[in-house]
Amino acid sequence: MKRDLVSILRPAFRKIIPNFILNIRSRSAETKQHLKYSDLDIEEVFTRIYNCKDWGNDGSNYFSGTGSHSESIVVPYINAVSDFLSSLENKPIIVDLGSGDFNIGKKLLDFAKYYYACDIVSELQIHNSQKFNFKNVEFLHLNAISDDLPNGDVVIIRQVFQHLNNENINKVINKCYKFKYWIITEHLPNLDSYIPNKDMTNGCGVRVLYDSGVDLTKPPFNCGDYKRKILCEVPEHDGVISTALFEKTD
């Protein structure tokens, strides 16, 4: 009986133990990665992330990572967000916070009256303004944490909060209440339950490796003035990239 039990459990242990060890190593690497940015201000953090290719390298000067380029992630997102934007009575003014290399934003322009593409990295925005020539886009060098945001109807914050500490997330959220619609995308753990909104330092990594993720409906954010609806979810690295629509209820 013992031998039978061992033979049954051995394959399971072979799967569990390597993943467990891998997670420990990944968390250790993630912690070291964040320590690189601990003494930098927020603009320096993201400038260095792009310059050091911490989100990957496709050979271009600026690359926002596979989350902005992988078809399995991008196509469902574009389809879902396009469906929502096209359902509005009038084309909205969109404010995109953390627009990055603009591989995503450029696919939404047909649904926008005007599009403010905002990013904290100055050199990136200069690059984008020279690369793209769309009539209804303005590339703004903007720190969403400390600067005033443009006026608009829809704010898009795509996989940005997951790189910020909770204090900075709150500062951005407090400026977003002037928008009727929020489209928020975050990388969340693929778990039945997890502890939301564990705090971390600003950096290139995310909370998923620590079995956490940003949930704006939970403390310390509690965005109860908006009703929430999931637009799409796609699996990614032992988690899910979830896009939610927040609509102002009053």
Tens digits of per-residue pLDDT, 38-47?
Answer: 678 899 999 9
| Strand 114-119 versus strand 154-158 pairing type | unpaired
d(C-alpha 136, C-alpha 93), whole Å = 10
Q: What is the pLDDT of residue 32?
A: 59
Q: What is the pLDDT of residue 206?
A: 87
Read off the pTM: 0.86
d(C-alpha 172, C-alpha 153), whole Å = 16
**Which tens digit of pLDDT belongs to each residue from 129-146?**
999 999 999 999 999 999
Which segments in the chain show pLDDT lower than 70?
Answer: 1-38
Q: Rounded to whole angstroms, what are the CA distances from 102 to 35, 50, 60, 117?
A: 28, 14, 13, 8
Contacts of 104 (CB under 8 A, 6+ apart): 68, 74, 77, 78, 158
| Strand 137-141 versus strand 154-158 pairing type | unpaired
Q: What are the helix (H) ranges across 88-228?
A: 122-131, 166-176
d(C-alpha 190, C-alpha 126), whole Å = 37
Q: What is the pLDDT of residue 61?
A: 86
